[in-house]
Structure 1
Amino acid sequence: MTVNSPEELAKLLERVDYLADEGVATAAFLALRMQRPLFCEGEPGTGKTSLAVSLAKALDLPLIRLQCHEGIDAAQALYEWDFPRQLLHLRALEAGSETLDVNAAEQSLYTERFLLARPLLRALTASPCVLLVDEIDRADDEFEAFLLELLDENAVTIPEFGEIRAAQPPLVILTSNRTREVHDALKRRCLYHWLEHPDLSREVAILRRRLPGIGERLATQVAVAVRRLRDLELLKPPGIAESLDWSQALLTLDRDELDAETAARTLGAVLKYTEDMERVRAKLDALLA
């Protein structure tokens, strides 16, 4: 799909219920047109992962997601050989031939049939696509260096198989919650955007778009309360997902406004630590004033 401007991309994203501000729409448009990875940082819950998911929907492209974690390595992210099937294949060859050609047998073991493609390899072979490298800050330095090389070349060489190169570079979205600093070498390869929590009017619009049954008054009350919660320096400040969960909980209870009693009963939808809940309960009246 050809997109001619950030405004056009914002409209496409809006059709799939992602309300992008001008900065997000511009960053995503540039990444798409310049064929550069987009590195998104921000607090948890600001819509970084949702941006990649929504871009895939809006552009009608497959989404391939690599969830990073401590200790992730190239084998988990790129490819592995299916050793059990290779062993069965070798035994079948041995059983079916009295004079086994060792070289031919070895070559037959390293074919696409036995190649287990992990997310990064699938992104190279399924292009065009959207590749989401989620929470890159959880991976270690070695994996970051490996990813850097792959993003530079949009290709990988498998020793037993040969080179695999993307016919068209995937649209790569990398996200980070900034639990550690990502190296400058990786950032230099990417366009960069810091995602903020939405302003009040945008958050209300998101709630009303995603939850058609919610009224203007309740959506505004939830958005105002959540913004105040974010200012309390909680262990886990609520993001958009928590705003939606809280609103959904209130709708499930048939509430059309947010009062202190209902808020106290439903705090588990928006706060995830008992310390945060205890702190907020002591301030509910002020938060909802």
Structure 2
Amino acid sequence: MIETVDDVQALLEAGDYVAERRLATVVFLALRLERPLFLEGEAGVGKTEVAAVLARQLGRRLVRLQCYEGLDVASALYEWDYPRQMMEIRLAEAAGQPDREHLAADVFDERFLIRRPLLQALTEDPAGPPVLLIDELDRTDAPFEAFLLEVLSDFQVSIPELGTIRAERPPIVVITSNRTREIHDAVKRRCLYHWVDYPDLHRELAIVHRRVPQLMDRLGRQVVAFVQALRERDLYKVPGVAETIDWSRALTALDTLSLDPDIVRDTLGAVLKYQEDLERMDLQEIEALIARVNAELGP
């Protein structure tokens, strides 16, 4: 039972998601008020994981709509299984040319309906309303936003051949955006908004130890401090928490005990994903960052 913000924070932590108090509060309000949750922030800071953890810890089905440029209603909502419909028509014709109206009603039956993520999220589930993750909404265009606005307003859609389908209880909706463009105010007004920022050193260290429990404590503090220092650099793509976790796993797989210039240079591709950024981090720069990290952490 989710009765307080503390319950939400405990729920997320049980799913290995270390959430700050403000995030836990807005998640609690989204659940209590049955409002969509709009999470915005840089890539790799844990926006998508909020939906995954909620679904897992609440025992709900996770329905994910991955957004992309050119996403249309058919791909997001529903489409008809035309090959099966044509087969049904041919079988009916071979059986004796049935009435056209009867045949039309037969082929536009739910048996031939392909439910895409939005329609799946409006369908009743025995476990309770599913968690609908609309991931990276900023990759779509304005017409899709307008359609999504209609769905979020009433949690219902109209299918001409079947009528109106309405959710008995609204799904738990989590919308994410990397802010590559601004989302229309009308969408944001229907949501509870939260900006997910990079965590501070202590919270990021807690996250890394949750995800990579076998990581040595000293190495973990070095890794997190090094990545935090990288975020101060003028990079093409600043590393997120996801990269910190990936790097920690890579170093653990190599049985690394402590950061040194050679191991950092050899594994930095787990943190920086653009050649221009890797070229900026030459051996001298790496040595300077390691020295800074060690000085900050002490013996």
TM-score (norm 2): 0.94
Distance 1:109 1:176 in 2: 39
Q: Find the residue that maps to 2:245 and give its secondary structure.
A: helix
Structure 1 distance, partners of 2:232, 2:178, is 18
Give the distance between the partners of 1:147 and 1:90, measured in 2 at CA. Answer: 34
State, as a whole percentage, how many aligned pairs show the same letter: 54
Q: Which residue in 1 is equivalent to 2:290?
A: 288
* Runs of 5+ unmatched residues, structure 1: none
Equivalence for 1:219: 220
Residue identity matched to 1:192: Y
The Cα of 1:73 is off from its aligned counterpart by 0.6
- 1:79 alignment counterpart: 78
Equivalence for 1:124: 122
Shift of 1:147: 0.2
Distance in 2, Cα, partners of 1:136 & 1:233: 27
Cα separation, 2, equivalents of 1:77 and 1:146: 10
Equivalence for 1:209: 210
Helix, strand or coil for the counterpart of 1:283?
Answer: helix
Q: Distance in 1 between matches of 2:88 and 2:101?
A: 14
**TM-fit CA distance, 1:87:** 0.4
**What displacement does 1:8 show?**
0.7
- Which residue of structure 2 lines up, in the alignment, with residue 53 of structure 1? 52
Unaligned 5+ segments in structure 2 are: 292-299
Q: What are the Cα deviations for residues 30-86 of structure 1, in whole angstroms up to 9, with x where unaligned?
A: 101100001100011110001111111111111000000000010000000011100
Shift of 1:100: 1.5
Q: CA-to-partner distance for each residue in 1:222-248, whole Å, 9 max, x for gaps?
A: 000001111113111111111011111
3-state SS in 2 of match to 1:120: helix
* 2:6 corresponds to: 7
**How far apart, CA to CA, are the structure 1 residues paired with 2:289 and 2:3?**
43
| Matching of residue 114 in structure 1 with residue 112 in structure 2 | yes
Q: Secondary structure of the equivalent of 1:266? A: helix
What is the TM-score with the length of structure 1 in the denominator?
0.97
Match of 1:33 in 2: 32
User: 1:7: how far off?
Assistant: 1.0
What displacement does 1:280 show?
1.7
CA–CA distance in 2 between the matches of 1:23 and 1:126? 31
1:71 aligned partner, one-letter code: G
CA distance in 1, matches of 2:92, 2:101: 12
Q: Which runs of 4+ in 1 moved over 2 A?
A: none
Give, in whole Å, the separation in 1 of the partners of 2:236 and 2:263: 22
**One-letter code aligned to 1:34:** L
Aligned to 1:66: 65
Amino acid at match of 1:163: T
C-alpha distance in 1, partners of 2:68/2:132?
16
Distance apart, 1:27 and its partner CA:
0.9
Spell out, residue by residue over 1:79-104, the C-alpha distance to the aligned partner (whole angstroms, 9 max, x if none).
0001110000011111112x511111
1:35 aligned partner, one-letter code: E
The aligned counterpart of 1:148 is: 149
Count of aligned pairs between the two proteins: 287
- Whole-Å Cα distance in 2 between the matches of residues 211 and 110 of structure 1? 50
Q: Which amino acid aligns with 2:115?
A: A
Matched to 1:145, the amino acid is A
Match status 1:180 vs 2:178: no
2:89 is equivalent to residue 90 of structure 1: yes
Distance (Å, rounded) in 2 between the aligned partners of 1:211 and 1:46: 17
Where 2:39 maps in the other structure, the secondary structure is: strand
SS of residue in 2 equivalent to 1:284: helix
Residue range with higher mean Cα deviation, 232-241 or 62-71: 232-241
Query: What CA deviation, in whole Å up to 9, does each residue of 1:147-166 have, x standing for no partner?
Result: 00000010001001111111
**Distance apart, 1:126 and its partner CA:** 4.0
SS in 1 for 2:104: helix
Distance 1:260 1:204 in 2: 21
